[in-house]
Amino acid sequence: MLHIEPAFLQYPDWKGHSFLREEVSKFLSDYCRSPKPLKPENVVVMNGCGSLFSALAATLCDPEDAILIPSPFYGVITEDVSLYSSVKLYHVPLYSQVVRSDVRPFQLTVEKLENSLKEAKKEGLNIKALILLNPHNPLGEVYSSEELISFLQFAKMHKLHVIVDEIYMLSVFNEADTFRSVLSLDGLPDPQRTHVMWGVSKDFAMAGMRVGMVYSENRDLVQALDQLGCFHGVPGPTQYLMAQLLRDRDWLNSEFLPENRHRLREAHSFMIEELKKLDIPFLHRSAGFFIWADLSKYLKEKTFAEELSLWRCFLKHKVLLSCGQAFSCVSPGWFRIIFTDRLHKLQLEFGIIEMHCNFCYLKLASHCYLLLLLQKKKKKKCS
């Protein structure tokens, strides 16, 4: 028989029960390597980071205001900020092409942020904030301290709030790729406008538990989120379970996190080897559950219509990849391949991808007259 404390059956503090906010502040202090202990009163817990995006958009913006976000980005955020609050995202386009040897593909720079901010203003948009995903979804990359600070200083200069989504912070599986939380920085450029999100959906593989949290020193923001909290409440017993989980450092540090990182590393290795075999270019990163891969060579034309057609083809074979359009990527042909699955499933999936890609490649080659005959022979497989 499950016993539930009567207190958990009562209306809670809408920011989260104090016992949970205390545990969250200790947890984030440790895992974000904060130079000073973080404070429970700066924590707001809601039912997932989608709810937090919705509530942050509603509190930081007026309807039709906009928020800068480098693209590609986790596309669901578009609905998170717009469904209730009519807030727009203004994309800072990052390109796959590398123009200089010291620049990474899809690299975010302050220059790009500045340019997009100017463009947005020209279009009459009121930009209120910047969203940073770190580690990044779908790119899988983590920002260096220098990069982070430069982005935060850009935001400070333009009085923009910064929402830093660190939901993959414990899923950096190669320690050479050092993750630095914004909360680890010695003195934030603009602490009143810097808000850090984390949740249990990804790092603890608990999306169904609906628990996300934000850390902010801005009292007005915390108070406003408290008001909206009545729509995003987490059940008392779930809050209790979460506090227990966050407190269980022995298990987290000696069992769960090392094993999780090990599995991520293994699955990632398998995946990149397969991509190499197929000669598919990809970003070699060490965070998140996905690889950002360039399948554009399988497109008949470099268009988003063709990208969608390729996506549908995978889906028909029961392989669900996310295409670049879903992340507002500006270059067609990029796909997010999720590798966090059992090995035998990945093998099966990759078998299908390979078969399909080879077939696509033949379709591409079929534009050459010499291969026309071959294409006809294979037609029966096409259906």
Strands 212-216 and 322-323: unpaired
The distance of closest approach from Cβ of residue 254 to a second copy in the complex, given in angstroms and rounded to an integer, is 18
Strand stretches in 43-108, DSSP E:
43-46, 66-71, 88-93
Considering only the stretches 34-42, 118-126, 142-150, 200-208, report the one whose residues sit in contact with a second copy under the rule CB under 8 A. Answer: 200-208
Residue 5 or residue 273: which is nearer to a second copy going by CB?
A: 5
Query: According to the binding rule CB under 8 A, does residue 256 interact with a second copy?
Result: no
Per rule CB under 8 A, is residue 1 in the interface with a second copy? no
Give 226 or 354: the residue with its C-beta nearer to a second copy.
226
Closer by beta carbon to a second copy, 62 or else 273? 62
Smallest distance from a second copy to CB 76, Å: 8
Residues 116 and 77 sit within 8 Å (Cβ to Cβ):
no
Residues ≥6 apart with Cβ < 8 Å to 248:
none
CB of 223 to a second copy, least distance (A): 13
Sign of the C-alpha dihedral computed for residues 178, 43, 247 and 168 taken in this order: negative
Q: Nearer to a second copy by C-beta: 3 or 377?
A: 3
Among residues 19, 231, 270, 304, the one that binds a second copy under rule CB under 8 A: 231
The one-letter amino acid code at 214 reads: V
Give, for 56, the enclosing helix (H) or strand (E). Answer: helix 49-60
227 lies in the site for a second copy, by CB under 8 A = yes
Site for a second copy (CB under 8 A): which residue of 138, 236, 288, 324?
236
Binding mask 22-61 toward a second copy (x if CB under 8 A, else -) reads -------------------------xx-xx--x---x---
User: Whose Cβ is closer to a second copy: residue 50's or residue 189's?
Assistant: 50
Distance CA 244, CA 246 (A): 6
Give me the residue label for tokens 């790009």. Answer: 112
Sequence-distant (6+) residues with CB within 8 A of 173 are 261, 262, 264, 265, 268, 286, 287
The β-bridge partners of 199 are 212
